Amino acid sequence: MKMKLHRSLSALIAVLAVALLARAALAADAATTVQAQNVQAKIALANAKVAPGHEVGVKVDIAIDPGWHIYGNPVPEDFVPTSVEFDQRMIAQQRIKFPAPTPVKFEGLGQTLPVYQNSVHATGAVMIDPKSKPGDYQIAGTFKFQECNDNICKIPQAVKFEIPVTIE
């Protein structure tokens, strides 16, 4: 009896482990990484399988090379704040919340500007368009930012990305 119970318990644990690994692998597939010289961003959806009219969590992890920074909000008109925007073809609503940037005084400019250095993590959600049909899709978007160091600012970037999803 004990042997039979032990085998059943072992089988149940194995099934649960496989299910957890499959779920983790599925969530990992709902992400993309974009690279632009001194800035790298991983943009991920909480689930690779989504339903029309439902919200899905969004996580944005940005790594910034040492000595460089990107801008937060609010910035003067001449600068580009960091943002992640999803195309509206499949997204009915979106909200991505970035943390408060750090104010840094730039002596050469005579201005204090809001910046992110080293890394920044944002979260939010998107709502899948209720009219979406079942199938495999790529949810597109744009990661916008301007990378600078103490001496130069590079041309603002608008890097396109796509995240694979299955609409059920």
Domain residues for the domain of 48 are 2-167
Amino acid 137: pLDDT: 95
Q: How many CB atoms lie within 10 A of CB 38?
A: 17
Amino acid 18: pLDDT: 35
Q: What's the chain's average pLDDT?
A: 86
* pTM over the 0.75 mark: yes
pLDDT tens-digit series, residues 56-78: 999 999 999 999 999 999 999 98
Closest to 55 in 3D by CA, of 128, 123, 122, 124: 128
Burial 14-26, CB ≥16 within 10 A → b, else e: eeeeeeeeeeeee
Judged against a pLDDT cut of 70, whether residue 9 lies above it is answered with no
Amino acid 108: pLDDT: 81
Q: In CATH, what number is assigned to the domain containing residue 100?
A: 2.60.40.10
Q: What is the tally of structural domains in the chain? A: 1
